[in-house]
Amino acid sequence: MKNIGVSVLLFLVAIVIAGCSCSNSDVYEPRVERPEKATRLSYVKFGREFNDMNETHLAVAQSIGIEPLATRADIENASRELVYIETSKAYEVEPLTHSSPLLIPEAAALLKEIGESFQDSLVRHHYSPYKVIVTSVLRTDEDVKGLSRRNINASKRSVHCYGTTFDITYKRFHRIDDDADETSQAKLKAVLGEVLRDLKKQGRCYVKHEIKQACFHITVRK
């Protein structure tokens, strides 16, 4: 019986090891080589670079996004295709209470590009690997009403209602390798700022640096 117990224990350990080795495949492989010398970090002036106002976000959202939905039960009848987003190699999606993890395809592609470019930039800067964290995605009218009870700044016609917009927090980042050196939140925010600045210059998105919500409010443009 003792030998059987040991065999079972070894079998379970093997399963755990196998599971760990499989999880390695879920780690993003950067598209760039680590340079011999770290790239110099440029600190973006967030308030100046990312000051696209709600009207600007809303105009493009109404042009390319879905028709706003009354409730989550209406999602299956959305006027445009919606892509389900979930934690991946490129980004983390935190548990959502007042939104659903859905975006139009263009916005989903932009989010993926942001996550991958962020990790590529960390390599160039010789920083440890982290992932960005998504905190808000598609909202229905019902979600907005519920949120407005908790947040007086919540818009009655939120840009989030069109499936074009998502929020990425700059206060928290998901640490991929606990054994690697820790990188400060300020440096990680600066790297993310570089990525968003470049994408904004390319005409890919509008960005608002939200202070109270501690996030980058991002709307895809095309």
Inform me whether the pLDDT recorded for 12 exceeds 90: no
Considering the chain, what is the average pLDDT of its residues? 87
Least confident of 6-15, 50-59, 101-110: 6-15
Tell me the whole-structure pTM to 2 decimals.
Answer: 0.85
Token code pair at residue 5: 């117990």
CATH of domain 2-220: 3.30.1380
Strands, E assignment, the chain:
83-84, 91-93, 102-103, 130-136, 165-169, 174-175, 205-210, 215-220
Furthest C-alpha separation in the chain: 72
Instruction: For residue 73, give every residue at least 6 positions away whose Cβ sits within 8 Å of its Cβ, in sequence order, or none.
Output: none
pLDDT at position 70 is 95
Whether 176 and 104 have beta carbons less than 8 Å apart is answered as no
Least confident of 17-21, 99-103, 104-108, 109-113: 17-21
- At 47-91, the pLDDT tens digits run 999 999 999 999 999 999 999 999 999 999 999 999 999 999 999
pLDDT at position 22 is 36
- At 184-215, the pLDDT tens digits run 999 999 999 999 999 999 999 999 999 999 99
Whether 96 and 166 have beta carbons less than 8 Å apart is answered as no
Of the pLDDT bands very low, low, confident and very high (cuts 50, 70, 90), residue 30 is confident
